[in-house]
Amino acid sequence: MAVVAGRTSATGVRGAPNILLRLWRNKDTRSVILQVLTMALLFAFLAYIINNAVLNLAVLGKTFSFDFLGFPASYDINQRLIEYTSQSTHFRAMLVGILNTALVAFFGIITATIVGFLFGIIRLSNNWIASHIVYCIIEFTRNVPVLLHILLIHGIIVHVLPSPRQAHTLADSIFLSNRGLTIPDPIFGEGFSYTVIAFFVAVGIIVTFYRWARKARDERGKIYPVFWISVGILFGLPFLVFLLSGSPLGWEVPTLGRFNLKGGITMIPEFLALWLALSLYTSVFIAEIVRAGILAISKGQWEASQAVGLQRNRILQLVIIPQALRVIIPPLTSQYLNLTKNSSLAIAIGYMDIVATIGGISMMQTGKEMESMILVLSIYLCFSLVISAFMNWYNQRIKLVER
């Protein structure tokens, strides 16, 4: 080794600059050199940041550990989908936060999609008034920051709606006040399981019927009203079983306690405000995406479909929408991700999501800033990756089969 090194250094005094220069001038090796340099710089930067964090923690005398997740949280949470008390652990508090984020994201995405598709289609309609009203709604909503929408809706609920004693009520069972929307809580009696079984049976029947109707269409050209028959089976069968088994379902109707409505299920104003604001804000972007998707299909497709004698709704269903979805799905995924991430604005109105629980109170009470923030970042990353994975799978499925 030493001999080799000595020889190269003896001859390389003159040769070395030339070799480097030659390597640099060669297109392939240059790109390798640049990539190596880039990676080196990237790692140096990462090392610098991690080192900085480690040193500063050491200087403050802090340790890096996730042990605190096992300690009692000692605070209460107003909206919890799982059992939780102030004696539960910080980990449990984090789970409550994750579920609260998931809840608002789930309902937000569904509402935003339905409203967005409606808006998008109305925007394209020939009805001048309808189309322009929606145009105004879209322009107003998407040009105001989402945080303001959240604060506005929360403000309206809290300041405009009456207190629980004077709550707006529907049939004395649904109440709307500045403490939220309270609805009766269903109590499932004995025998309700038959209805649940009937529901799944109905789903099975629908799938079989759908396959059969499709076959009938392909073989005999006979078209059945699949949609309406399916809806009929889906609701009719479980309802029939429900009646036959003696209506085993009761309702716990909310009553007025000393301070609040007691019993029932309450959607707190913070949830309502966040859900409505996120849905509205995201739906107008979805409306524009839907409009773009439909307009992207060339007029020739409409004309060709009409030429073979298809009705308007069949054209939409069979020709336009399948092609438009190709354009709609990828940007739609981004909107779903945005909605989920925007839900972190919950902190502004005190909705107990991930940021407010583990990234807020737990972090504050334990002083574990670094650990908590790493957890919050990872959880949002997981949420986003799950949504992306699902949407990518769906996109793959509806992709046009190209020949």
Contact residues toward another protein (CB under 8 A) are 40, 43-44, 47-48, 51-52, 55-56, 59-62, 74-78, 85-87, 158-159, 163, 178-179, 257-260, 262, 269-270, 347-348, 350, 352, 356, 360-361, 363-367, 369
Burial of 21 (0-12, 13-18, 19+ CB in 10 A): exposed
Angle 379-385-391 (CA atoms, 0-180°, nearest 5)?
140
For the CB of residue 277, give the shortest distance to another protein in the complex, in Å.
17
Phi (first) and psi of residue 365, to 5 degrees: -75, -25
Closer Cβ to another protein, 72 or 186, answer by number:
72
Tell me if 398 sits within 8 A of 330, measured CB to CB. no
Least distance between another protein and beta carbon 299 (Å): 54
Radius of gyration of the chain (CA): 30
Cβ 46 to another protein shortest distance, Å = 11
Q: Which residues contact 26 (CB under 8 A, 6 or more apart)?
A: none
Q: Give whichever of 272 and 290 is closer to another protein, judged by the CB atom.
A: 272
Of 152 and 325, nearer to another protein (C-beta) is 152
Nearer to another protein, 154 or 291 (CB): 154
Task: Give the ranges where 221-311 is alpha helix by DSSP (H).
Answer: 226-244, 269-295, 299-307
Residue 127 is encoded by which pair of tokens? 């009805």
In the complex with another protein, the residue whose CB is nearer, 38 or 51, is 51
Residue 141 CB partners (closer than 8 Å, separation 6+): 149, 280, 281, 284
Helices (H), ranges, 343-368: 354-356, 363-366
If the CB atoms of residues 87 and 396 are measured against another protein, the closer one turns out to be: 87
At closest approach, how far in Å is the CB of 383 from another protein?
22
Shortest Å, Cβ 401 to another protein? 51
Task: With CA atoms as reference, report the closest residue to 185 among 243, 266, 96.
Answer: 266
Number of alpha carbons in the 13 Å side-chain half-sphere of residue 202: 19
- Closer of 236 and 257 to another protein (Cβ): 257
Nearer to another protein, 139 or 369 (CB): 369
Three-state DSSP class for 80? Answer: coil
CA count, 13 A, side-chain hemisphere, 126:
0
Smallest distance from another protein to CB 103, Å:
17
Distance of alpha carbon 84 from alpha carbon 95, whole angstroms? 10
Which CB sits closer to another protein, 47 or 197? 47
Rounded-to-integer distance, Cα 362 and Cα 378, Å: 16
What is the smallest separation between the CB atom of 106 and another protein, expressed in angstroms?
22
Are 229 and 210 in contact by the 8 Å Cβ rule? The answer is no
Backbone φ and ψ of 143, nearest 5° = -100, 5
Residues in the chain: 403
What spatial distance separates the first Cα and last Cα of the chain, rounded to whole Å? 60
When the beta carbons of 55 and 244 are compared against another protein, the nearer one is: 55
Instruction: Report, in Å, the least distance between residue 89 CB and another protein.
Output: 14
Strands (E), 319-398: none
Min dist. Cβ of residue 52 to another protein (A): 6
Q: Which of 325, 307, 336 is nearest to 110 (CA)?
A: 336
